């Protein structure tokens, strides 16, 4: 009799312990780029993510969370090591944070096979949207081509018929130009691939002027874009041939290094700080208050990633051991996005509106983006067909 009682007591104790264990903070691993000159991108994602946690006093969706952050130094192999450590040592079930597509391609396929959920707050390479898609991989930012597609459609509708294209000579450069060409219907005046990391564009700009295009589309991330825009303006071409590009070269932090040379440039984005919806107004005000600067695109993606996870954690009551339930909860995308509306396509990439923005000088003398119009509504991506989700 005594023995049986003991068993019952132990069983009850175990049952009682379960909810206590569930209230232990859920660990979220963030692998992102905080060093190197691209380090500000990771900084923005982290700050946006952290803001969502701080607003709930250390919780997401009412569930206490612990954010583990580590810097990948933009190196795929380093990111892989961090992912291993997060999964094996810290028993993390949710990962996020990677900035660069090549890093994501190296890390994501490996971690999602280990029953870990990965939510991308930035990189959206075609491989992970198409053939390499996976039930545990979600992208809350965009598919890489999206921001080029919107410019392609806008340029066509605005009546440009002879566009000159420029991108660095590496896979992402070709992908971005392909995204533009998918929706651009006119003639291509020239398609130039420059050296990755090139600093002087005098030769390309002279050739561009000689080709007499009626518009220029370029994808040159980071310092390359600054160099190109400055030299383009110095050649006087910004007065005569308008420039278009995806949002990457026009975030609010980069713009302060380009200033007037970027004025009037139209760029494609899925978000802007002036989008008029309650979630966004609240986010931009809170971010400015917390960090003293206007959030960039990347910060908005970090914030949305956190709130998406918050909505899912709430549905599963903070129990991340049942991956199936967690996955279903994320798939619903039932969170107040700063983009106004958001859903997941079958390959778990965003279905969202895409906008054209223009670089302007704000009243405070800072350079920023102003939303002109929504070019796509509920836009998905072309890789849905290739994705055979298991």
Query: Quick check: 253 binds another protein (CB under 8 A)?
Result: yes
Look at residue 286 and give its three-state secondary structure: helix
Query: Quick check: 200 binds another protein (CB under 8 A)?
Result: yes
| Burial tier of 66 (Cβ tally within 10 Å: 0-12, 13-18, 19+) | middle
Minimum distance of another protein from residue 381's CB (angstroms): 24
Query: Quick check: 207 binds another protein (CB under 8 A)?
Result: yes
Question: What string marks each residue from 17 to 36 as x (binds another protein by CB under 8 A) or -?
Answer: ------------------xx
Minimum distance of another protein from residue 273's CB (angstroms): 17
**Which residues within the stretch 210-249 sit at the binding site for another protein (CB under 8 A)?**
210, 222-223, 226-227, 230-231, 234-236
For another protein, the closer of residues 11 and 207 by Cβ is 207
For another protein, the closer of residues 114 and 256 by Cβ is 256
Window contacting another protein (CB under 8 A); options: 114-122, 201-209, 239-247, 352-360? 201-209
State both tokens at 390.
């298991």
Query: Quick check: 204 binds another protein (CB under 8 A)?
Result: yes
**Which residues within the stretch 85-114 sit at the binding site for another protein (CB under 8 A)?**
none
For another protein, the closer of residues 230 and 307 by Cβ is 230
For another protein, the closer of residues 204 and 353 by Cβ is 204
Query: Quick check: 366 binds another protein (CB under 8 A)?
Result: no
Phi and psi at 152, nearest 5°, equal -55, -45
Q: Which residues contact 217 (CB under 8 A, 6 or more apart)?
A: 148, 151, 152, 155, 163, 164, 165, 166, 177, 180, 184, 243, 244, 245
DSSP code string of 144-159: TTHHHHHHHHHHHHTT
Question: What string marks each residue from 142 to 171 as x (binds another protein by CB under 8 A) or -?
Answer: ---------------------------x--
CA distances (Å), origin 186, targets 181, 220, 235, 244, 356: 9, 22, 26, 15, 19
For strands 94-96 and 26-32, give the pairing: parallel
What is the residue whose two structure tokens read 């391609």? 105
Minimum distance of another protein from residue 368's CB (angstroms): 15
Query: Quick check: 258 binds another protein (CB under 8 A)?
Result: yes
Minimum distance of another protein from residue 99's CB (angstroms): 13
Helical packing angle, 39-55 and 297-315, nearest 10°: 40
For another protein, the closer of residues 253 and 281 by Cβ is 253
For another protein, the closer of residues 58 and 197 by Cβ is 197
d(CA 330, CA 348): 10
The single residue among 8, 9, 21, 202 that binds another protein, judged by CB under 8 A, is: 202
**C-alpha gyration radius of the chain:** 23
Look at residue 68 and give its three-state secondary structure: strand
User: DSSP secondary-structure letter at 195?
Assistant: P
The single residue among 23, 37, 88, 187 that binds another protein, judged by CB under 8 A, is: 37
Look at residue 138 and give its three-state secondary structure: strand
Window contacting another protein (CB under 8 A); options: 65-73, 81-89, 205-213, 334-342? 205-213
Nearest to 52 by CA among 146, 140, 143, 147: 140
Question: What string marks each residue from 259 to 288 as x (binds another protein by CB under 8 A) or -?
Answer: xx----------------------------
Query: Quick check: 199 binds another protein (CB under 8 A)?
Result: yes
Window contacting another protein (CB under 8 A); options: 108-116, 149-157, 254-262, 307-315? 254-262
Query: Quick check: 187 binds another protein (CB under 8 A)?
Result: no
Sign of the C-alpha dihedral, residues 122, 100, 312, 133? positive
Provide the phi-psi class of 264: left if phi over 0, else alpha when psi is between -120 and 50, else beta: left
Query: Residues 146, 381: contact at Cβ < 8 Å?
Result: yes
Binding-site ranges for another protein (CB under 8 A): 35-37, 39-40, 43, 169, 191-195, 197-200, 202-204, 206-207, 210, 222-223, 226-227, 230-231, 234-236, 253-254, 256-260
């Amino acid at each position: 009799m005594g023995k049986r009682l003991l068993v019952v007591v132990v069983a009850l104790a175990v049952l009682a312990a379960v909810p206590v264990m569930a209230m232990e903070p859920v660990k979220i691993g963030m692998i992102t780029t905080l060093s190197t000159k691209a380090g500000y991108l990771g900084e923005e994602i982290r700050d946006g993510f952290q803001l969502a946690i701080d607003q709930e006093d250390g919780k997401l969706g009412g569930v206490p969370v612990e954010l583990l952050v580590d810097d990948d130094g933009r190196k795929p192999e380093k990111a892989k090591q961090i992912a291993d450590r997060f999964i094996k040592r810290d028993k993390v079930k949710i990962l996020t944070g990677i900035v660069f597509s090549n890093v994501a391609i190296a890390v994501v396929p490996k971690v999602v096979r280990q029953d870990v959920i990965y939510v991308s707050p930035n990189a959206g390479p075609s491989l992970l949207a198409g053939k390499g898609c996976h039930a545990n991989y979600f992208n809350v930012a965009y598919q890489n081509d999206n921001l080029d597609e919107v410019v392609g459609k806008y340029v066509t509708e605005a009546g440009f018929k002879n566009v000159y294209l420029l991108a660095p000579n590496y896979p992402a450069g070709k992908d971005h130009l392909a995204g533009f060409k998918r929706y651009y219907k006119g003639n291509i005046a020239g398609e130039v691939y420059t050296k990755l990391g090139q600093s002087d564009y005098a030769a390309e700009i002279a050739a561009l002027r000689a080709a007499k295009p009626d518009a220029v589309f370029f994808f040159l991330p980071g310092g390359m874009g600054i160099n190109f825009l400055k030299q383009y303006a110095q050649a006087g071409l910004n007065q005569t041939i308008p420039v278009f590009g995806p949002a990457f070269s026009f975030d609010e932090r980069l713009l302060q290094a380009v200033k007037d040379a970027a004025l009037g440039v139209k760029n494609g984005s899925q978000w802007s700080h002036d989008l008029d919806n309650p979630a966004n107004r609240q986010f931009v005000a809170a971010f400015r208050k917390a960090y003293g600067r206007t959030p960039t695109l990347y910060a908005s993606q970090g914030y949305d990633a956190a709130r998406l996870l918050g909505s899912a954690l709430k549905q599963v009551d903070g129990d991340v051991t049942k991956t199936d339930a967690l996955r279903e909860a994320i798939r619903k995308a039932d969170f107040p996005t700063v983009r106004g509306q958001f859903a997941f396509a079958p390959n778990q990439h965003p279905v969202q509106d895409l906008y054209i923005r223009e670089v302007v000088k704000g009243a405070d003398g800072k350079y920023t983006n102003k939303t002109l119009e929504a070019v796509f509504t509920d836009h998905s991506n072309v890789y849905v067909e290739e994705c055979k989700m298991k």
